[in-house]
Structure 1
Amino acid sequence: MARGLANAVTPLWRLPYQEQLQVKYESQRKVLQTLASRLEELGIDAQKPGGLCCPLQPVVPSPIINGYRNKSTFSVNRGPDGNPKTVGLYVGTGKGRNIVCVKANHVENIPSKHKQVAQCYEEFICRSPLDSCILFHEGGHWRELVVRTTSHGHTMAIITFHPQQLGQEALATQKALLKEFFTCGPGAVCALTSLYFQESTMTRCSHEQSPYQLLHGAPHIFEELLGLKFRISPDAFFQVNTAGAEVLYQAVGELCQATGDTVLLDICCGTGTIGLSLAHRVSKVIGVEVVEKAIEDAEWNAASNDYRVVRAIRNCRSIRRLLFISCKPEGEAMRNFLE
């Protein structure tokens, strides 16, 4: 089962790292071949030798390849032994009706601190008289755990809880028990910097829809990246590999060919990491971000906004160089490339 989880979470784990990089390179080559073919269908002759529409650089290796994740999301569901309060990662599919939750103890890209918090959370919910919430309509309360860590040694835990029909007094009791467990009980070994609690009646819930409630510690954790200090909130986006992000942003700096009079427009800037890391090279940084509040169809909204952003970029004659950064170029980004 541990091997099945490793295959699902880190599918290249059996290969030496240099071979993993080659697999990633070939994957990106296929993306560019697809783009060239799609452009040809539209009557644009974009193919160069090798069937690509542009040069493809070698994959830049990450300085850290084990335990690099600064954020992990653990689910609560039935484990291989049938325990419905297992805290781990999913193996299987909903379509195949073979989903099982497996502890992440042997997953190499998750740091030991994350695994420790997950184990303590499992101990807490196993002690709790309240059930785990596997299917919303079947009841139960305890749901997923998010753990965030930084190079400063900060650890933030965010626990999601389905309130079902519980009143405010009962909710207050559960929050007090959770705080006690992680500050005075067995969970104190985790030395949490921040403990958050979120009541959620949906799969994903923003702070605007249901606020993150600070039960213990500081409201933020802090990370350093390229000599800059960043404040991280519970729901803030931050690249999951900090050392890898530094390599990425250095590559972006070289590609953007910025000069002293360049204005950098950082669209979908998130916490501003890219714009700030390049600020010393340019005359001005303008960050643009859309904060989604209580939207019913977040996926449609994000796709709709994405299209308008690309159209606005194309219509702006002042933009001389565009760098498009995508974590998944083989997916929705292909439409953007064509545009």
Structure 2
Amino acid sequence: MKSVVEEFEKFIRNSGLAPFSPLTHEGYWRQLNVRTTCNNDILIIPMMHPQDMTEDQLSDVKKKIVTHFTTGPGAPLAITSIFFKACGQKEKGVEQVLELLWGQEYITETILGKKFRVSPDAFLQINTAAAEVLYEKIGSLAELDSESMLLDICCGTGTIGISLADRCKKVYGVELVEKAAEDAKQNAKENGVENVAVFTGKAEDNMPHLMQHCTKANTIGVVDPPRGGLNNKVIFALRKCETMKRLVFVSCDPRNAIRNFISLGRPESKQYKGEFFIPVRAVPVDLFPHTPHFELIILFERWEEQRWKGIMEGNPLPQDEAYFKRLSDKPTDVTEEESHKDKRAAEEQGDGPRKKMKAE
């Protein structure tokens, strides 16, 4: 990826066209997107402001890009896809499209043994090795079985639902971006996964239809929304889906998602129908090493008065007793001796009981 950027920098310097300035709005070259995969795909998307260029002049620039990276100095990089995007003054209602100049229409990535095609503007976790850890953890928290219905909200190219499809009865995915939804359908087909159905459109518009398929089975929800979180109408629909006892929420920005967490946990009312959810597990997964960012998985479970009253009173049901025993049996990286050292160090720093409480 760095080599591609370096080569494109040389191309720009020799192009005779200045870079775009966000201050003066003069110049042409605006941005370069590069996507690479473990399958050795390299996709580039040069973006430029055409300014007052004619169609012939713009066409000449596109040809030079293709020549440079297919038969010219950039050929050894083995780029597999070259797209182009003209970013002029945005007009309301006009979508700026990606134009395929050369190569494949998409990249492919292999995750947990399954191959996925990804359109140039479709979302995919950028750290494949860590994404596999993320998806495995989602699967273990969801506790799927052969009778489970999995609702994959904001499914993107279908990576989560398809990866977990062999563990459940049926997967229903919903995706707003049409190209990503088409990728998801094709990915299910190419991986021979027959129990996946993908719907295109807003999650809040599709939820009433999906709920019709989730009336007689153990329904588990997985939501991996954009940074801004879920529309509250989706929260309303999730709460009304009474067969959904477990919800796995994946957030790349927990501060932004807090309003969703609060809405899931509000007491039942005229607006918030259905019993509320409570968070029972939180697992961070570091997909972005050397940065303060991470993916946070939170497992929510539906409130059941008798069950949770028994847990809080120390008299859990047999299945819950087994669940908490599994948690307590999990190995830890911190030895008992190290734990006591940490507690003593905290007490010695002052603030006595308060420091001690934090350490414990």
Same fold (TM over 0.5): yes
Structure-1 separation of matches of 2:227 and 2:256:
11
Match for residue 260 of structure 1 among 135, 146, 151: 146
**Mapped pair 1:211 → 2:135:** no
Whether 2:205 is the aligned partner of 1:280: answer: no
> Match for 1:181 among 68, 74, 85?
68
Bigger drift between 301-310 and 312-321 goes to 301-310
Query: Is residue 122 of structure 1 aligned with residue 47 of structure 2?
Result: no
Query: 1:44-78: CA deviations, max 9, x gaps?
Result: xxxxxxxxxxxxxxxxxxxxxxxxxxxxxxxxxxx
TM-score by structure 1 length? 0.60
Unpaired segments of 5 or more residues in structure 1?
A: 1-113, 294-300
Partner Cα distance (2:38, 2:229) in 1? 36
Please state how far the C-alpha of 1:236 moved relative to its aligned partner.
Answer: 1.0
Q: Which of 12, 20, 26 is equivalent to 1:133?
A: 20
Distance between the aligned counterparts of 1:146 and 1:211, measured in 2?
Answer: 14
CA separation in 2, counterparts of 1:304 and 1:334? Answer: 9
Give me the whole-angstrom Cα distance separating, in 1, the residues matched to 2:164 and 2:48.
39
Paired residue secondary structure (2:85): strand
Q: For residue 249 of structure 2, what is the aligned residue in structure 1?
A: 324
Cα deviation for residue 158 of structure 1 reads 1.0
Output aligned runs, 1:184-263, within 5 Å.
184-201=71-88, 209-263=95-149
Provide Cα deviations, 1:220-271, integer angstroms capped at 9, x if missing partner: 1111101111001110100010010101111111100111110000001111
Q: Which whole-Å deviations, capped at 9, do the CAs of 1:162-213 have from their partners, x for residues lacking one?
A: 112212111101101111111122111211011111111269x99x812211
Scaled by the length of structure 2, what TM-score is found? 0.57
Give distance in 2, aligned partners of 1:158 and 1:202: 18
Rounded to whole Å, the distance in 2 between the matches of 1:159 and 1:262 is 44
CA distance in 2, matches of 1:256, 1:302: 22
1:311 and 1:166 mapped to 2: Cα distance?
A: 50
Tell me the distance in 2 between the aligned counterparts of 1:337 and 1:304. 10
Kept after mapping to 1: 8 A contact 2:227/2:252: no
1:147 aligns with 2:34: yes
Structure showing the higher strand proportion among its residues: 2
Distance 2:229 2:4 in 1: 37
Percentage of matched positions with identical amino acids:
44
Structure 1 residue aligned with 2:239: 314
Shift of 1:305: 5.9
Q: CA deviation at 1:137?
A: 4.8
225-234 vs 178-187, which deviates more?
178-187
Q: How does 1:40-189 map to 2 (within 5 A)?
A: 114-135=1-22, 137-189=24-76
Supply the distance in 2 between the matched residues of 1:201 and 1:161 (Cα, whole angstroms): 8
Q: Which has the higher contact order (CA 8 A, sep 6+)?
A: 1
SS in 2 for 1:324: strand
Q: Sort the Cα spacing of 1:305 and 1:243 in 2 relative to 1 into closer, same or farther, 3 A.
A: closer
Distance 1:227 1:292 in 2: 25
Aligned AA (1:141): Y
Is the Cα–Cα contact under 8 Å of residues 46 and 85 in structure 2 kept in the other structure?
yes
Give the structure with higher Rg (CA). 2
Provide the rounded CA distance (Å) in 2 between the counterparts of 1:196 and 1:285: 32
Separation in 2, partners of 1:162, 1:132 = 9
RMSD of aligned Cα (Å): 2.4
Partner Cα distance (1:248, 1:302) in 2: 17
Whether 2:223 is the aligned partner of 1:336: answer no
Letter in 2 for 1:224: T
Shift in Å, 1:281: 0.5
Q: Whole-Å Cα distance in 1 between the matches of residues 236 and 8 of structure 2?
A: 46
What do the CA deviations read for 1:7-57 (whole angstroms, capped 9, x no partner)? xxxxxxxxxxxxxxxxxxxxxxxxxxxxxxxxxxxxxxxxxxxxxxxxxxx
**For the residues of structure 2 that align with 1:185 and 1:291, how far apart are their CA atoms?**
35
Other structure's SS at 2:76 match: helix
Between stretches 134-143 and 241-250, larger displacement belongs to 134-143
Residues in 2 aligned to 1:263 and 1:202: alpha-carbon distance in whole angstroms: 45
